[in-house]
Structure 1
Amino acid sequence: MSTGSRYWTIIKIDGAGGRKIEQIDSAKAFFLTSFPEFTASTEVPDTLIQRQLLHWLKGGINEYTDEGICQELAGTSQRKANEPCFLAKLCLKCFISSQIERVCHQLAAQFGENHGFTYRDLLPFVLDEDNRRNYQEKKITYQSFLDDIVDSFDPNQSSLATWTTRRVKSNKDINAFLLEQGIYLVSDWAILNDTTPKQIERIFDQVYHLTRVEVEDDKRILEGYHAVYRAQRLKQRQAGIKGKCLSPTLEQLQEISQDLSNKTNRNIPPAILLTKLQNIASRLREYRIRVRGGSIHYDERDPISLTETIPDPNSDIVDDETEFLKLYRQQFLHCLDLAIAQVTGERVKTLETRDKEKAQKFIIALQLFHCQELSMSEIAKQLELKAQFHISRLLKLKAFRADVQQHLLILLRDRVFAQAKAYSDSQRLQTLHQEIESALNEQIANVIQEAAMEASTATIEKHHTTSSFFSQRLCHYLDIRSNCYE
């Protein structure tokens, strides 16, 4: 849901390169006359509004039969500029400009502080409307990024907000800028998917100077990954299932481990296999940044950064504590994502056995509450349920968080103990076992408690902010899930 003003307020870059907001009166008049049930401050159903605007844009002009509207909007010299198709596109572009700014904010929040840029540095790459454009005149010789997003948008494939987000994150100028900062916006799993065993052999030998045994080991792991994960991914794409590459499931890791065992007689536990895959992807990511001309940033403070790198392979000095903490941060993030995916998937399956529509409403309600920041009462109205308590019963957020907490502890504990073996002797590990588990319990409890406090106030407030780490990762998962099923 958005306020109506997003459809007649456009965000632009002025002649000095600064951000400015401009209200387009013709678009405002058109929108309010076309949808008289809404006002400037009213929340509007984006999907319905955008489909109607796109319908008028794509050829439904003849259905726009109220000639009085056109006469009201346009003078004789401006009639063409105020045709419904042009104004419908203008409203869509206003919405897109605000979504572009949101995505730039997200990228800056994720990477900007540690890499020295703000969202304003990103805006000029994607808000490239001709600054000399007069919105009372149509120009067909120039197609901006906003025009391109509108023209390529298919409401049957995704929402306009999701489509805009994808286009911004795949924009070549944005990616070139981020690459210069050492940021490569591709997941580990996508990198592993499109890397061949021969490339692994060449890069790890010639660039990282690994031993022959290490190269062969990583090569076989990649081959096992391809045999299981990539093969299943290709089948999904052939079946029309698209979206980002999700982290390997426990079942997939077990299959890869079995594949390796069959071929090499080596039994690698799933937790250790996951770490090895991430380390392979980390080296490949660093290599790709280098060959594309980007600089590498070594940053131990940001556990969420996609630019995690490895220590210099030629260095004789290794800080065990720093390296262990780095691996721990990676595992905490990955295990939280995996726990959220597992618990959400289990909840959906359980609901589907009783009522498929209820399962779908559960996912929608999660997204509306945690990501769009709607109150329970607002969600109840949108899902056509009678009262707020129906949403509370559907979500069962306390039980949901408790399940995630339990899954996270089990996943993270196994991985931490597996990693710790490389940094301490067995006797010392036995002594530290209880201390490590207590520390994990405390940190996980803090993350869940933050989410619980956030939810307790959000339940009663009409507008709330869901900024907890738990909510961020849940929204990340829901976004990926929606992309896969679109």
Structure 2
Amino acid sequence: MSASNYWTLFRLSASGRAIPKPMLSAKSFFQQQFSEAQDTRSIQIRLFNLSQSSDQTTAQLALLCLRCYISYQIVSTCLRLVERFGDRYSFNLTDILPFVLDDQGRTEFRKTLSFEILRTFQPDKGSLSTWTARFVQQRPDLTRFFAQQGLLLVSNWALLNDTSEKQLCRILSEVYLLSPREIDRAIALLNAYHSVYRNDPSRAGRCIPPSIAQLQKIAQHLSSSDSPDVLMSRLNRLGNYVRQYRVWCRRGAALTCPIDSVMLQPVEIEKQVCPLETRFLRRYRQALITELDRAIINVLTARMQKVSSQDFLLSLHALYCGKQTMRAIAVQLGLPGQYRVVRLVQLAKLRSTIQAELIDRLKPRLAPFLPVASIDLDRILQDELEPLFNLDAQYLQTPIAYRSSESRSLFTLRMEHCVEKLFTERRTLQATMAQAG
């Protein structure tokens, strides 16, 4: 860590860029206080103590040094967010800095993020860099922007930890339209997760991935023979259901509701969506899964009648359900190269056809519930659905070793479900015909 971070303040320019400005008074003060090299923690504790000094000048200069350091950490945190999520969720550094980089170096800074960070920071309980990163990621304006982009900066484990049995039941039944049996299994898994995860003293309030020991205890609660890997996969899938639901809710709230209503805590959907839009959004969520599955099944069935149905279905099953590469699929099917698999499945055309059919299916179901009759429903559906299909393309283009289950869109999840359904039906039919023959 460079000492200059304690006397260089990053300020927001009119174009949304972070511009470093050396603060000479902070530099002189810092060099007087720390003539010899010290570790980061010692420096921050001393500066924090000096900021409580009865001498106003000393206190202000110590605060300025800390504010400079915080501005550096804010920019660093934003850079990490852009590097990790920017391409996938279509935002860059200039999009998010205005939400958090608001300290211009003035003596009065009570309305800035830096003030809130310093007001709540406790040097003996953690580092200032970690505390700053947490405040940046939980900034209401920023989380609202991320939600509009389809991004929720909460781990699956935190989502599941904060989801009640009643909430999950409603999400899975009303939004995802799962069967009663599937819902019962999911609720049993959630309850077992809560029993083990919430009561583990080693967690210390942090929502980190469950350990092997915790997963084994969850299996015991369920009287299940599932391996830790299988349970981890099931929990992740459950978390993804909740995640997608929360994103939908926050997108709804972002349409016309005040910023202050968009919070990280789980709240009822009726409280998040403005009254005029509630019925339309509920209808949209209920219709989406049903019509998406129907659109996928119809398009895949039609394609199977035009191309080599066996190879086409095997390729999609290996790609979505088997998590195999195009190259591996080509070898499995005895094709000369992966280019033949690309030609066979034609994923871009497949997505486009499914999206067009889905929009045609949704329009008559949703038109009667539009809050304003003059709204362009085609454009709304196009804007809402486009990220689901784009994320599927990005997910499949990501090397398998680096794929995250959290990066799968709803379309990817339903493709897995529908392809598995068609694949199972085909195998059952073949087995029946073989027995009859």
TM-score by length of 1: 0.53
Task: Look up the equivalent residue of 2:221 and give its one-letter code.
Answer: D
Does residue 54 (structure 1) correspond to residue 48 (structure 2)? The answer is yes
Deviations 1:201-223 (A, max 9, x none): 11111111111111111111111
Q: How far apart are residue 230 of structure 1 and its match?
A: 2.1
Deviations 1:408-436 (A, max 9, x none): 9xxxxxxxxxx9xx7999xx9xxxxxxxx
Residue 196 of structure 2 contacts residue 214 of structure 2 at CA under 8 Å; is this kept in 1?
A: yes
Residue 175 of structure 2 contacts residue 289 of structure 2 at CA under 8 Å; is this kept in 1?
A: no
Equivalent in 69, 83, 96 of residue 122 of structure 1: 96
Pick closer, same or farther for the CA change 1:6–1:327 going to 2, 3 Å.
Answer: farther
Counterpart of 1:320?
Answer: 317
Q: How far apart are residue 18 of structure 1 and its match?
A: 3.3
Counterpart of 1:286?
Answer: 244
Counterpart of 1:248?
Answer: 210
Counterpart of 2:27?
Answer: 28
Separation in 1 of the partners of 2:165 and 2:112? 40
Separation in 1 of the partners of 2:49 and 2:95? 35
Q: What does 1:276-425 correspond to in 2, within 5 Å?
A: 276-293=234-251, 312=289, 314-316=292-294, 317=296, 319-324=316-321
Pick closer, same or farther for the CA change 1:139–1:327 going to 2, 3 Å.
Answer: farther
Q: How far apart are residue 36 of structure 1 and its match?
A: 2.5
Counterpart of 2:108?
Answer: 139
Task: Look up the equivalent residue of 1:58 and give its one-letter code.
Answer: Q
Does residue 10 (structure 1) correspond to residue 9 (structure 2)? The answer is yes
Equivalent in 215, 222, 228 of residue 260 of structure 1: 222
Task: Look up the equivalent residue of 1:116 and give its one-letter code.
Answer: S
Task: Look up the equivalent residue of 2:230 and give its one-letter code.
Answer: I
Separation in 1 of the partners of 2:167 and 2:53? 49
Residue 220 of structure 1 contacts residue 260 of structure 1 at CA under 8 Å; is this kept in 2?
A: yes
Does residue 275 (structure 1) correspond to residue 233 (structure 2)? The answer is yes
Does residue 168 (structure 1) correspond to residue 162 (structure 2)? The answer is no
Counterpart of 2:126?
Answer: 158
Task: Look up the equivalent residue of 2:61 and give its one-letter code.
Answer: L
Task: Look up the equivalent residue of 2:222 and give its one-letter code.
Answer: L
Separation in 1 of the partners of 2:45 and 2:159? 35
Deviations 1:218-254 (A, max 9, x none): 111111111212222xx457xxx343x1111111111
Q: How far apart are residue 55 of structure 1 and its match?
A: 0.9
Q: How far apart are residue 37 of structure 1 and its match?
A: 3.1
Residue 153 of structure 1 contacts residue 160 of structure 1 at CA under 8 Å; is this kept in 2?
A: yes
Separation in 1 of the partners of 2:247 and 2:323? 20
Q: How many residues align?
A: 278
Residue 181 of structure 1 contacts residue 294 of structure 1 at CA under 8 Å; is this kept in 2?
A: no
Deviations 1:327-349 (A, max 9, x none): 99xxxxxxxxxxxxxxxxxxxxx
Pick closer, same or farther for the CA change 1:326–1:171 going to 2, 3 Å.
Answer: farther
Counterpart of 2:68?
Answer: 94
Separation in 2 of the partners of 1:35 and 1:251? 47
Q: How far apart are residue 97 of structure 1 and its match?
A: 0.4
SS at match of 2:9: strand
Task: Look up the equivalent residue of 1:203 and give its one-letter code.
Answer: I
Residue 17 of structure 2 contacts residue 97 of structure 2 at CA under 8 Å; is this kept in 1?
A: no
Q: Among the aligned pairs, what percent are the same residue?
A: 34
Deviations 1:297-338 (A, max 9, x none): xxxxxxxxxxxxxx956414374334236699xxxxxxxxxx
Task: Look up the equivalent residue of 1:222 and give its one-letter code.
Answer: L
Counterpart of 1:84?
Answer: 58
Residue 78 of structure 2 contacts residue 97 of structure 2 at CA under 8 Å; is this kept in 1?
A: yes
Counterpart of 1:212?
Answer: 180
Task: Look up the equivalent residue of 1:255 and give its one-letter code.
Answer: K
Task: Look up the equivalent residue of 1:197 and give its one-letter code.
Answer: E
Equivalent in 152, 157, 176 of residue 189 of structure 1: 157
Task: Look up the equivalent residue of 2:242 and give its one-letter code.
Answer: L
Task: Look up the equivalent residue of 2:182 and give its one-letter code.
Answer: E
Q: How far apart are residue 268 of structure 1 and its match?
A: 2.7
SS at match of 1:36: coil
Pick closer, same or farther for the CA change 1:269–1:16 going to 2, 3 Å.
Answer: closer
Q: How far apart are residue 164 of structure 1 and its match?
A: 0.9
SS at match of 2:41: helix
SS at match of 1:293: helix
SS at match of 2:114: helix
Equivalent in 166, 177, 185 of residue 145 of structure 2: 177
Does residue 110 (structure 1) correspond to residue 107 (structure 2)? The answer is no
Separation in 2 of the partners of 1:94 and 1:157? 21
Q: How far apart are residue 7 of structure 1 and its match?
A: 0.8
Separation in 1 of the partners of 2:322 and 2:157? 22
Counterpart of 2:190?
Answer: 222
Residue 10 of structure 2 contacts residue 20 of structure 2 at CA under 8 Å; is this kept in 1?
A: yes
Pick closer, same or farther for the CA change 1:284–1:22 going to 2, 3 Å.
Answer: same
Pick closer, same or farther for the CA change 1:327–1:174 going to 2, 3 Å.
Answer: farther
Residue 50 of structure 2 contacts residue 62 of structure 2 at CA under 8 Å; is this kept in 1?
A: yes
Separation in 2 of the partners of 1:285 and 1:20? 35
SS at match of 1:278: helix
Pick closer, same or farther for the CA change 1:55–1:216 going to 2, 3 Å.
Answer: same
Separation in 2 of the partners of 1:193 and 1:88? 39
Pick closer, same or farther for the CA change 1:326–1:57 going to 2, 3 Å.
Answer: farther
TM-score by length of 2: 0.58
Q: How far apart are residue 34 of structure 1 and its match?
A: 2.1
SS at match of 1:156: helix
Residue 182 of structure 1 contacts residue 294 of structure 1 at CA under 8 Å; is this kept in 2?
A: no
SS at match of 2:221: helix
Separation in 1 of the partners of 2:122 and 2:114? 14
Separation in 1 of the partners of 2:231 and 2:324? 13
Separation in 2 of the partners of 1:285 and 1:257? 23
SS at match of 1:11: strand
Deviations 1:357-398 (A, max 9, x none): xxxxxxxxxxxxxxxxxxxxxxxxxxxxxxxxxxxxxxxxxx
Unaligned runs of 5+ in 1: 39-43, 62-79, 296-310, 329-407, 409-418, 429-486
Separation in 2 of the partners of 1:251 and 1:14? 50
Residue 179 of structure 1 contacts residue 294 of structure 1 at CA under 8 Å; is this kept in 2?
A: no
